[in-house]
Amino acid sequence: MSEFANAPRAATIAVLVENEPGILARVVGLFSGRGYNIDSLTVAPVDETGRISRITIVTSGTEMVIEQIKAQLDRLVPVHKVSDLTLEGPHLTRELALIKVVGKGELRMEALRLADAFRARVVDATVESFVFEMTGNADKIDAFCALMRPIGLVEVSRTGAVAIARGPRGIN
């Protein structure tokens, strides 16, 4: 325990919380109050009764900071479970993005070809615009957006990452 790596690492942390008013403010306030990073944060109820929500936080810091983040999250009264997916083994990360591209002529065709290559779906179209929907990890969406920028990207809406461990083991 004494030798913590000083290099920062990314961590994807899943937090199961009691779905009560103010819980998101508690979690976000913890990060801002203690000076931790939030790269992305998603939240939605996940059980059949709607009482439990799952928050997925992508953060980064030294090993000591990540340990602190987890311990601080865990001591919030409405928190049921904190799980460091990055540390605990292979896991899947997905993000959904809606990407609006405006253009005509050859650029429009290029946008469609690229969307096809990235398996992005067209969910809205006008004579001068497309909205693409794509899912993937953050890198894939970043790459797609980078390619779309010179050919008419005007707006991006992203959910932030959701993640789950591979294999049969559940978070509980």
Partner 1 sequence: MSAATKPASTEAALTMSGAEVVLRALKDNGVEVIFGYPGGAVLPIYDAIFQQNAIRHILVRHEQAAVHAAEGYARSTGKVGCVLVTSGPGATNAVTGLVDALLDSIPIVCLTGQVPTHLIGNDAFQEADTTGITRPATKHNYLVKKSEDLARVMHEAFYVAKSGRPGPVVVDLPKDILINKAPYSEAPKTEHRSYRPQTEPDAEQIRKAIALLKGAKKPIVYAGGGVINAGPEASRLLTDFVHMTGFPCTNTLMGLGAFSSDDKQFVGMLGMHGTYEANLAMHDCDVMLNIGARFDDRVTGRLNAFSPGSKKIHADIDPSSINKNVPVEVPIVGDAGRVLAALIEAWKADGQAQDKAALTAWWRQIDGWRGIDCLRYRQEGKIIKPQHAVKRLYEITRELGRETFISTEVGQHQMWAAQYFGFQKPNRWMTSGGLGTMGYGLPAAMGVQIAHPDALCIDIAGEASILMNIQEMGTLAQYRLPVKVFILNNEYMGMVRQWQELLHGGRYSESYSSALPDFVKLAESFHAKGIRVTDPADLDAGIREMIAYPGPVIADIAVAKDENCFPMIPSGAAHNEMILGPEQEGGVAGVTDEGKVLV
HSE (CB half, 13 Å, CA atoms) of 64? 7
* Residue 39 in tokens: 């790269």
* Residue 101 in tokens: 């591209």
Q: How many residues does the chain have?
A: 172
Q: Which one, 81 or 91, has the nearer CB to partner 1?
A: 81
Q: Which one, 19 or 56, has the nearer CB to partner 1?
A: 19
Site for partner 1 in 41-70 (CB under 8 A): 64, 67-68
* Residue 55 in tokens: 């928050």
Least CB distance from residue 164 to partner 1, whole Å? 21
Rg (CA), the chain: 19
Residue 1 as a binder of partner 1 (CB under 8 A): the answer is: yes
Q: Which one, 26 or 91, has the nearer CB to partner 1?
A: 26
CA dist list (Å): 30 to 20, 24, 65, 96 = 16, 10, 13, 26
Q: Which stretch binds partner 1 (CB under 8 A): 6-14, 16-24, 112-120, 138-146?
A: 16-24
Q: Which one, 80 or 94, has the nearer CB to partner 1?
A: 80
Residue 35 as a binder of partner 1 (CB under 8 A): the answer is: no
In whole angstroms, give the CA distance from residue 115 to residue 151: 12
Site of interaction with partner 1 (CB under 8 A): 1-4, 17-18, 21-22, 25-26, 29, 33, 64, 67-68, 71-72, 74-80
